[in-house]
Structure 1
Amino acid sequence: MKLYSVLVFHKDSTGKVKAMKSAFDLTSFSFFQRGSVQEFMTFTGKLLVERSAVPSRSCVKENEYFCYTYVRPDGLAGVCISDSEYQRRVAFTMLNRVLDDFVSKVAPVQWPSIKTEKDCMYTGLPELLTKWQNPREADAMTRVQEEVEETKIVLHNIIQSVLERGEKLDDLVAASEGLSNQSKLFYTQARKMNKCCSWINLCCVVIFRQGLPLLCPTALFRAIRRYAK
């Protein structure tokens, strides 16, 4: 059970969304991947808030990850990204608590002056992320909290389903100013990797079982053909 990130955004009356504050626990990812993973979680959170009504709650499943989004009537929004074992009810209760705490520390009159996360003096997210990392502790807290009405939560199977007709995630990634070139390359490679994962898995099986040199493509290809038969 893992909670990877909690992010706070604000959506103004024109629909423009800006990041207010975020916290991440990416220790389960490779050290060299963490920068790109963090950028994409922020990108995904902003995209989901942009595509969400005010007010609304929604849940998007993307592969083994779940993205929960809660947009309040005042435009303040919370997004958390977790694995599949983190309970939906707990996630939305946590987001409600996060936004309440944010408002208690950062008054709405201050929001327009916040241009980047560095401008926001709120420091509570890391502690809340750690506190809600344990679903058992979080679930105990929800007993004194009014449960979220499940019928009002919009469910999506994949991120693509929240996009407008004709929009493509690849195009949004390419046009994003919030993603570095390294992260865009990481995304492109990950997409290609996903398409050929079965081939890669087969290669790995052959390499480890046959004890082949890593730089011997001819021998590897022959071994794969024998192994696949």
Structure 2
Amino acid sequence: MPLIYAFVARGTTVLAEYTPYSGNFNTVAIECLQKLANPEPKFTIACDRHTFNFLVANGFTYLVVADEAYGRQIPFAFLERVRDEFEEKYAEKARTAAALSMDRTFGPRLKSHMEYCMDHPEEISKIAAVQKKVNEVKDVMVENIEKVLERGEKIELLVDKTDDLRNQAEQFQKKGRQLRNKMWWQNCRMKLIVLFAILLLAVVIFLLVCFTGGKNCTK
């Protein structure tokens, strides 16, 4: 019995389930579900030669219990098939559905996907392998795009810094010209003051020489 039990849950509320076997698999699976805290998107719990395979996406949890010898590829391929159909056709209704209220509508779909995966293991394995490669390529592309965007941000930052430096240089040149003009006027004013002082001193000396002691240089 490769695939044994499957359910779809919203939070800790199981909406639909299916199993062709008897046993306490559903009890153990629900206990695992209730203990989950911030689960990874995909993870597996091994227990008593069985694997409890979980797929978490968009607020829903998909589970399939499988024989441990069956590996993880086909169980997760099954979960991805279930997720794709459930999100496309049942997700809106499922957001407010009560516990096990979707057994009648989606339980048969769990059965159909389970039987197909068990009847076509080679096909499912090939599809899973191709999907894995597609996901790897997608991850590489996303990483490259992020690097390009990051590089673009760095270039934009460099351009902004260059603009800032150019503006600072222009302001420095403007202040330099203003300072040169100010120094030139101060220099001119100082020269005029010195020249005026020399002329004034010359006039004073002339007056002292010409008009002291009864002298009059103008006669």
For normalisation by structure 1, the TM-score amounts to 0.51
1:125 and 1:52 map into 2 onto residues whose CA distance is 25
Q: 2:2 maps to which residue?
A: 2
Q: 2:59 maps to which residue?
A: 75
2:47 and 2:110 map into 1 onto residues whose CA distance is 24
Query: Residues 144 and 43 from structure 1, CA distance in 2 versus in 1: closer, same or farther, beyond 3 angstroms?
Result: same
Q: 2:101 maps to which residue?
A: 118
Q: 1:96: how far off?
A: 1.6
The answer to whether structure 1 residue 22 and structure 2 residue 17 are counterparts is yes
1:85 and 1:138 map into 2 onto residues whose CA distance is 16
Q: What are the residue-to-residue correspondences of 1:45-124 with 2, within 5 Å?
A: 45-50=29-34, 51-72=36-57, 74-108=58-92, 110-119=93-102, 121-122=105-106, 123-124=108-109
Q: 1:55: how far off?
A: 4.6
Q: Secondary structure at the match of 2:130?
A: coil
**Structure 2 counterpart of 1:22, one-letter code:** E
Query: Residues 52 and 100 from structure 1, CA distance in 2 versus in 1: closer, same or farther, beyond 3 angstroms?
Result: farther
Query: Residues 6 and 146 from structure 1, CA distance in 2 versus in 1: closer, same or farther, beyond 3 angstroms?
Result: same
5+ unaligned residues in a row in structure 2: which ranges? 137-219
Over alpha carbons, which structure has the higher Rg? Answer: 2
Residues 7-40 of structure 1: per-residue CA shift (max 9 Å, x gap): 11111xxxxx1111111121xxxxxxx2xx1xx3
1:68 and 1:119 map into 2 onto residues whose CA distance is 21
Query: Residues 71 and 82 from structure 1, CA distance in 2 versus in 1: closer, same or farther, beyond 3 angstroms?
Result: same
Q: 1:77: how far off?
A: 0.8
1:90 and 1:52 map into 2 onto residues whose CA distance is 25
Q: 1:43: how far off?
A: 2.3
1:47 and 1:77 map into 2 onto residues whose CA distance is 13
Q: Secondary structure at the match of 1:103?
A: helix
Greater helix proportion: 2
Q: CA RMSD in A?
A: 2.3
5+ unaligned residues in a row in structure 1: which ranges? 12-16, 27-33, 150-229
2:128 and 2:33 map into 1 onto residues whose CA distance is 24
Q: 1:130: how far off?
A: 0.3
Q: Secondary structure at the match of 1:132?
A: helix
Q: Is the 8 A contact 2:78 2:114 kept in 1?
A: no
2:94 and 2:125 map into 1 onto residues whose CA distance is 31
Residues 107-147 of structure 1: per-residue CA shift (max 9 Å, x gap): 33x22431132345324111001011143232122133136
1:99 and 1:2 map into 2 onto residues whose CA distance is 19
Q: How much identity, in percent, do the aligned residues show? A: 17
The answer to whether structure 1 residue 142 and structure 2 residue 125 are counterparts is no
**Structure 1 counterpart of 2:6, one-letter code:** V
